[in-house]
Structure 1
């Protein structure tokens, strides 16, 4: 389980360290940093595929994702000046087993190069415990050089390019098991953010079905994921979640050349195809498939899952999330007070973000309440 999330210099997250529980609900006003926190998590997950540099470039490069305020925030109305320190966006997390952090900086390239949006990976560390420190760090990367602890520190005879990550590109026998475990953990994270339910959305179309142990991020394999969970022994659980939200209704999956999801509703002579369901109904079924998969993900992030849902569905959604948290760690970003309250009543940790010229902060968090964290020097 992830215990701490740390972000420095990314958008409004000037220096944010937050604790995470089994279920954590993040709320706050518009502009408080909720979306930045969500996007920072997606950047961390991109490291499992060696795509952190590309993900930052796709956001416009380091200059676009850096905190735009003063280097040292001074409160509302304070004006920025010339930065004295290095440009840096740092992301990291600590978990029960292994933690990881990465520090991204400005590229050192020929001015004529076309790759001006690519940041460079300056530092990376893999560690155990609540934060990185010399005694608990297994792998330490400083620019092109990396070293591995095997009793004592040993330099790795493999220079790393600025875009290469230790998670995907370091070839060292003593680090293989730790890096593989960490990469698999990150690759298993799931993000569900405003999945399309418009008329042409992939989840409304018949799809070739193969065994799908977890719903795709875009929900395109909804029918296959539902069928896989059903055959894995979760058919009754799926039926219960549907009936709780839509009394008397039941979902069916048809196979053949392509898989189709249909829903039987009271009073209708035939089931309705996914293409005929309302946006809210289809979105709720996507959430059911995401949270009742054949293989639970280690970490699931739901960004505003209440979107398009009728208020009457928020109570069943809270129960669905609470039940799913028995198998997966879940983080919910929400504007809905009713959903936040229901999850808090079910035992979820709650974090309220605020931002008023100082960068994003956790409301009510004193410095001593912040989890311990340490960023390595360059």
Structure 2
């Protein structure tokens, strides 16, 4: 489980550090930085997938995503008695992302490229990376380090061994140096990060794939857009928590249940509701009903990930569905660490009542995202 998350230099997240538990609820007003925090988690996951550079490019490049304010605020700036202005920088400009748990921690430092004639001169460069044991990086507990093109790994004897001298600036040691013989921990951490699951674009529009029959195969993990809903639900029925599936649907829609049918290999799903003489196909149900069913399929996955992140799951849901949704999320938090980004007060308050829930309230001050009344854990970034 991730117990600490740190982001520096990303959009409004000048320097933010969070303590995390098994069920975490991130909330705040519009523009407070919730989406930036969510995207920073996606960037961390992209490191393990080998596409962090491409993801930053899709956001407009590193220059477009860097914190636009001063490196630090003076007391007078914070008090409003002095104009906010740039100061002499003491550290290199960069975007830093990191997390740690009781077992391992990881951090990456992405910086601006050196001027060149290359057409790829706008690509950010990976300046430093580090993997360590425990929650806080130190000299003695790091076991893999990257500085510029050089990568070294600590052997069982405790001595450092250089494994690469020419790693490209757009390649991470997480994808190019993980080896079951020389860097098993690095490999295990990469595979764990690759399994992080994000849901923020479950389609419910008229043309959503979930509204039409789809070819069905065993689907223990719902697709990010929900296209394979019927197959995911049938998988839960056959090899997952079928009783839990029935309970959560009845909790949200009393007296209702769903059935999955197959025709020539194509799976379709229908919902039986109390008072109706025939079931409703997915093409007929409301956006809110479909979205709730998608969330059920995602959260009751027979293959729960180490970490699942939901971004504004309340979208299109009727307020009456938010409390049942909170119970569903709490059920999933028993098997996966959950981070829920929401600005729905009813969902936030319902989740706050669940055992083990931790609240992260974000606010803006001088355009910087800060955590209101939150604990700020210690954190060390790897040096370049």
Q: TM-score range by the shorter chain?
A: over 0.9
Corresponding position: 1:311 with 2:319: yes
Partner Cα distance (1:13, 1:175) in 2:
35
Partner Cα distance (1:240, 1:70) in 2:
52
Match of 1:129 in 2: 134
2:9·2:94 contact (CA, 8 Å) conserved in 1?
yes
Deviation at 1:136, TM superposition (A): 1.1
Structure 1 residues 171 and 363: alpha-carbon distance in aligned structure 2, compared to 1, 3 A threshold: closer
Consecutive unaligned residues of structure 2, counting only runs of 5 or more, are: none
Match of 2:257 in 1: 250
Partner Cα distance (1:350, 1:248) in 2:
33
1:223·1:261 contact (CA, 8 Å) conserved in 2?
yes
Partner Cα distance (1:173, 1:315) in 2:
45
Partner Cα distance (1:363, 1:186) in 2:
28
Normalised by the length of structure 2, the TM-score is 0.93
Deviation at 1:174, TM superposition (A): 4.7
Structure 1 residues 91 and 175: alpha-carbon distance in aligned structure 2, compared to 1, 3 A threshold: farther
Deviation at 1:138, TM superposition (A): 1.0
Match of 1:168 in 2: 175
Normalised by the length of structure 1, the TM-score is 0.95
- Count of residues in correspondence between the two structures: 374
Partner Cα distance (2:131, 2:25) in 1:
27
Structure 1 residues 171 and 99: alpha-carbon distance in aligned structure 2, compared to 1, 3 A threshold: closer
**Which deviates more, 69-78 or 56-65?**
69-78
Q: CA RMSD in A?
A: 1.7
1:214·1:297 contact (CA, 8 Å) conserved in 2?
no
Deviation at 1:80, TM superposition (A): 3.8
Alignment of 1:140-219 (within 5 A): 140-150=145-155, 151-170=158-177, 172=179, 174-219=181-226
Corresponding position: 1:364 with 2:364: no
Partner Cα distance (2:122, 2:211) in 1:
36
Which residue, out of 105, 110, 113, partners 2:111? 105
2:126·2:171 contact (CA, 8 Å) conserved in 1?
yes
Partner Cα distance (1:290, 1:39) in 2:
20
Deviation at 1:265, TM superposition (A): 1.3
1:25·1:343 contact (CA, 8 Å) conserved in 2?
yes
Corresponding position: 1:269 with 2:274: no
Consecutive unaligned residues of structure 1, counting only runs of 5 or more, are: none
Q: Deviations over 1:213-236 (max 9, x none)?
A: 111211111111111111114211
Partner Cα distance (1:55, 1:292) in 2:
29
Alignment of 1:1-378 (within 5 A): 1-73=1-73, 74-75=77-78, 78-80=84-86, 85-110=91-116, 112-150=117-155, 151-170=158-177, 172=179, 174-256=181-263, 257-347=265-355, 348-357=357-366, 359-365=368-374, 369-378=375-384
1:249·1:264 contact (CA, 8 Å) conserved in 2?
yes
1:24·1:350 contact (CA, 8 Å) conserved in 2?
yes
